[in-house]
Amino acid sequence: MSDLDLDPTQLDRYSRHIILDDVGPEGQKDLLDAKVLVLGAGGLGAPIIQYLAAAGVGTLGIADDDEVELSNLQRQVIHGDDDVGRKKVDSAAEFVADLNPDVDVERHDLRVTPDNIEELIDGYDFVVDGTDNFETRYLVNDACTLAGIPFSHGSIFRFEGQVTTFAGDDDSPCYRCLFPEAPPAGMVPNCATAGVLGVLPGTVGCLQATETVKHLMGKGESLDGSMLFFDALDMEFDKVKIPKQDDCPVCGDNPAIESVHDVEYTASCAIDVGGDSEPEIEASD
């Protein structure tokens, strides 16, 4: 697609992009031609889906097997009262269709598991992780790193959030460079038990969407190699470096993980030592 392919409605819709020197019609073309997979249509997924659709990302994959609950509506802004009880992928797809008819939605009503994640991420240019548990985060990291697909990580807890991008370059770290294994089960409570400030996932999700758009257009500096921490109570941002670890079990010099089937994605997400079960991992918030 070139700028001449944009019809009058598109020229109007994306005009604020087109007049930007660092975006222009070429940058909008990159967005319209892109395929992005969003894992989770909940607190983080909602603003991610909303802003990627508004920006004109041509194909949005949305993966979630959960249903909308009333308690979701305090933060999951793409769903409404009438959506309670509906599948989140259906509610999200309807929201996108109402917002921007240029965007094609690929619905993945499923739980993410080691058995389906490789097929799920195949063909996408970028993956955005908006899930809410350690098992899925490690599964997404391992699958994307092994496949060479760049992805965004975001997480929230009470009044705090963090976000980074893993570009998948030879000198880029991965999530296991920072956290080789998950903390013991029960050490970190989830939002259902600890609570979360309703606007917090909007802030973190928008940062993830920003990183995604920049990556697709090849503009600016990404968070690859850094983690951005946000404290909503003190309104402070801190950025820390994530060095690539030579002994990382996924992206290091001698990786111990060569397949997602090498790992038991349970509490610790450690390398499998012989177990033959593969638990299902929820991709929801």
Catalytic residues: 191
- Half-sphere CA count of 219, side-chain side, radius 13 A: 17
Whole-number Å distance between alpha carbons of 68 and 87: 6
125, 60 in Cβ contact below 8 A?
no
Q: Are 52 and 212 in contact (CB under 8 A)?
A: yes
Calculated CA dihedral for residues 110, 114, 115, 119, nearest 10 degrees: 70
Q: Would you state the structure tokens that stand for residue 150, as one six-digit string?
A: 């760049």
Report how far residue 67's alpha carbon sits from residue 1's, in angstroms, rounded to the nearest whole number.
37
Q: How far is CA 72 from the centre of its chain?
A: 18
Among 110, 172, 167, 112, CA closest to 138: 112
The closest alpha carbon to 23, from 214, 188, 179, 277, belongs to 214
How far apart, in whole angstroms, are the C-alpha atoms of residue 70 and residue 77? 12
88: left (phi over 0), alpha (psi -120 to 50) or beta: alpha
